[in-house]
Amino acid sequence: MPKPVIGITAGFAENGDVYLRRQYCAAIEAAGGVPLILPPSAAADALSVCRGLLLSGGGDVRPELYGLHDYDRTLLFEPSDERDRFESELTRLAVGRGLPILAICRGIQVLNVALGGSLRYDIPGHRQTLPRPEPSHTVTVEPDSLLFSLTGCERLWVNSFHHQAVGRTAEGLRVTAAADDGTIEAIEGLNGFLLGVQWHPEHMPTEAARALFRGLISAAEL
Ligand code: MN
């Protein structure tokens, strides 16, 4: 059987460039998948060649998409309406088809907002200055979760490069990991492989980080 193609969303720059940190591709490849970077295109056609979806990190989701209109514009980080639209459509289509999804950092936020949830617009204490592979805080994992079944850990050390977090979870999603300050760090669907994490496992050299990508590939092979 051919290796499963995993579509990876990317950033869309104003000059027309499509960009993505290569660690996402390396992690998918190391886990046994074929990484495919998705440019802005017809979401349904793009998904038709993918057996899994990775929603990657990036700038902030436009707050209006979760009903926030009164906010400090100076804190809005690299918004892209084009990317918001494309990823929201991809997410809803992929969830509808039961396609396995791993959503990372901005991705967990896109996942939640696309399905009707909200975000906390600006939170303190989650932007580490340590290098990306190094963890800066722990999260507590729900023992009956997909995240636990993948990692075998009730407590994980994670890196942290975000100033926003999941607020109200969308219907059909549940919180499966949180930081000690209460910040939501992982959400999951109620069945299938639908997992969002607020940290960046693609930069972490740990077994628990690799397990997330292997889980995505295994689900995509079914
Ligand atoms: Mn964090």
Tell me which residue has tokens 């990190």.
57
Whole-prediction pTM value? Answer: 0.98
Amino acid at 82: E
Is 137 noted as a catalytic residue in this protein? no
Based on its alpha-carbon atoms, the radius of gyration of the chain, rounded to whole angstroms, reads: 16
Determine the distance separating the centroid of ligand 1 and the alpha carbon of 163, expressed in angstroms: 8
Extract the tokens encoding 77: 């980080």
* Predicted pLDDT of residue 1: 85
* Predicted pLDDT of residue 193: 98
pLDDT greater than 90 at residue 189 = yes
Cβ atoms of 54 and 8 within 8 Å: the answer is: yes
Q: Give the bridge partners for 19, in sequence order.
A: 11
* Predicted pLDDT of residue 7: 98
Is 69 noted as a catalytic residue in this protein? no
Cβ atoms of 108 and 198 within 8 Å: the answer is: yes
Mean pLDDT of the chain: 97
Determine the distance separating the centroid of ligand 1 and the alpha carbon of 46, expressed in angstroms: 31
Residue 36 three-state SS: strand
